[in-house]
Structure 1
Amino acid sequence: MPDHAHHPDRTWPTRPSSGAEPVLLDRREGPYGEVVLRRRGEQHEIIANGCFLMDTSDGRSERLLVRAALAELNSPAEPSGPRRPGRRERPHVLIGGLGVGFSLAEAAAEPHWGRITVVERDPAILDWHRTGPLAAVSRDALADDRTALVREDLVAHLRHISGTECQYDAMCLDIDNGPDWTVTDDNAGLYSPEGLAACLRALTPGGVLALWSARPSSAFEGSLRNAGFCRVRTDQIPVARGVPDVVHLAVRPA
């Protein structure tokens, strides 16, 4: 798993500015490379292969990922029409990528969700939430009876459930830094035509796909439409420095 030093043509997100020096809490070499947990002042940071991924300083965009998916799921198929046919009263949501836990916490705080399935492939991140410093964010959500953790690569998980009765009403995916700048090369498979086709199959008719990205990507909107999604749009979330975070939204046709 190469780090950002192997991709000099890419512009990578940088960590938030802070006067505090980072304190190393844990470093592990796992199946997908090195992953590090640091504390900087009152915040925690996850670093993957030398590249800053996320921290606990804000969380607005990670929470919006879940809120926007539910709002889209509840919206009518047409602006003046009834809600989408077949939508369950207690929809099943997939959280793809546990990260620092904000998306899971947002889902668990919302009583309208039925089942909450979290797919995370890195054992270190799971440990940090179960018994480590990130439990402060996710403790209540992990204790929620609706929550189930699945340790598996997301693309592999989507392949495994293909053709089964397991489908999600919404999928909220925060994998790497988005479609155009993955820290881990094999994460790019999620954003490929094959990966998006697997996402489409994993959704119920009328189901919503929400994907977090560190930067907007108009080309990715085209990829979603080419994969068969409709109602494609991009919501932007301003950040303290640099370009906005975004949430790409798309719907499987009913």
Structure 2
Amino acid sequence: MKRFILLDTAPIPDTPDALCLFEYGEDFVIKIQGGKGGQLMNTRTHGSEDALAAIPCRSLTSKPGARVLIGGLGMGFTLASALQHLGPDAEAIVAELVPGVIEWNKGALGAKSGHPLNDPRTRVANQDVAELLKAETSGFDAIMLDVDNGPEGLTQKSNSWLYSPGGLEACARALRPKGTLAVWSASADRAFSQRLAKAGFKAREEQVYAHGNSGTRHTIWIAQRK
């Protein structure tokens, strides 16, 4: 019988919480310490994480010098998907706040996504994605955010700023003209759609299966800068 085997624990900066990496049979699972919120992610179901990057990056395949920002490394599947669709001279910057998550992706966990950290187009920033957004003006063709279970701060309360009017305006400033903001969520949120519109985005919601073509669906907002 399969059981969860704790492999490592990684503190979340500026919080009393930590992320826990478990082995579960042939898969890996990440949870918040103490079980708050259940499983955050696992290596068996990552269809929506793939789609988070595939949808905005498909149109960038032939764009010279495309530059994208991914908020949240997770298990590496969004980064791997972005690299699959980007050209050879692209740059994919991934911001990950928790150092332990970066180390996990350098090891056995990274094999599940094809070790995208080893790709020469990848640049890893061990910092809050909000810092990168505030420092850029018209710097990215696409921004993909998957730092929580939806448009609110769960793993870190300060993440809520990303989904606020100020945070969305920062995303718009950081994007190049006609650039795309993609936001992952475990569920739909009508109020967030309204905030995107007020921040100057033309947005739509896409429902994507977490795994295969049935079962749980997640929401991805695809918002283009006007």
TM-score range, shorter chain: 0.7 to 0.9
Question: Is 1:238 the equivalent of 2:209?
Answer: yes
| Matching residue's letter, 2:121 | R
Q: Which residue of 1 aligns with 2:174?
A: 202
Q: Which residue of 2 aligns with 1:211?
A: 183
1:59 to 21, 40, 46: 46
Aligned length: 218
2:94 to 118, 121, 127: 118
Shift of 1:239: 4.1
- Alignment TM-score, normalising by the size of structure 2: 0.88
Question: Is 1:34 the equivalent of 2:21?
Answer: no
Q: Which residue of 2 aligns with 1:96?
A: 71
Quote the Cα distance in structure 1 between the aligned partners of 2:26 and 2:51. 23
Q: Which residue of 1 aligns with 2:126?
A: 151
| Matching residue's letter, 1:246 | T
Alpha-carbon contact 1:27-1:35 (below 8 Å) kept: yes
Quote the Cα distance in structure 1 between the aligned partners of 2:58 and 2:32. 32
| Pair 1:238–1:135, CA change in 2 (3 A) | closer
Shift of 1:171: 0.7
User: 1:88-114, CA deviations, whole angstroms, 9 ceiling, x for partnerless residues?
Assistant: 434211111000110111122224371
Shift of 1:218: 1.7
User: 1:102-154, CA deviations, whole angstroms, 9 ceiling, x for partnerless residues?
Assistant: 01111222243711111111001011112x32121355422211111111101
Q: Which residue of 1 aligns with 2:145?
A: 173
Quote the Cα distance in structure 2 between the aligned partners of 1:97 and 1:207. 19
User: 1:25-65, CA deviations, whole angstroms, 9 ceiling, x for partnerless residues?
Assistant: 00133414211000111111111243321110121101101
| Matching residue's letter, 1:190 | L
| Pair 1:237–1:118, CA change in 2 (3 A) | same
**5+ long unaligned stretches in structure 2:** none
Q: Which residue of 2 aligns with 1:70?
A: 57
| Pair 1:71–1:109, CA change in 2 (3 A) | closer
Secondary structure, aligned partner of 1:109: helix
Report percent identity of matched pairs. 37
Secondary structure, aligned partner of 1:28: strand
Q: Which residue of 2 aligns with 1:129?
A: 105
Alpha-carbon contact 2:11-2:100 (below 8 Å) kept: no
Shift of 1:181: 6.4
Q: Which residue of 2 aligns with 1:13?
A: none
More divergent stretch after superposition (112-121 vs 221-230): 112-121
**5+ long unaligned stretches in structure 1:** 1-18, 75-86
Alpha-carbon contact 1:205-1:252 (below 8 Å) kept: yes
- Alignment TM-score, normalising by the size of structure 1: 0.78
Alpha-carbon contact 1:196-1:224 (below 8 Å) kept: yes
Quote the Cα distance in structure 2 between the aligned partners of 1:185 and 1:62. 22
Quote the Cα distance in structure 2 between the aligned partners of 1:90 and 1:157. 19
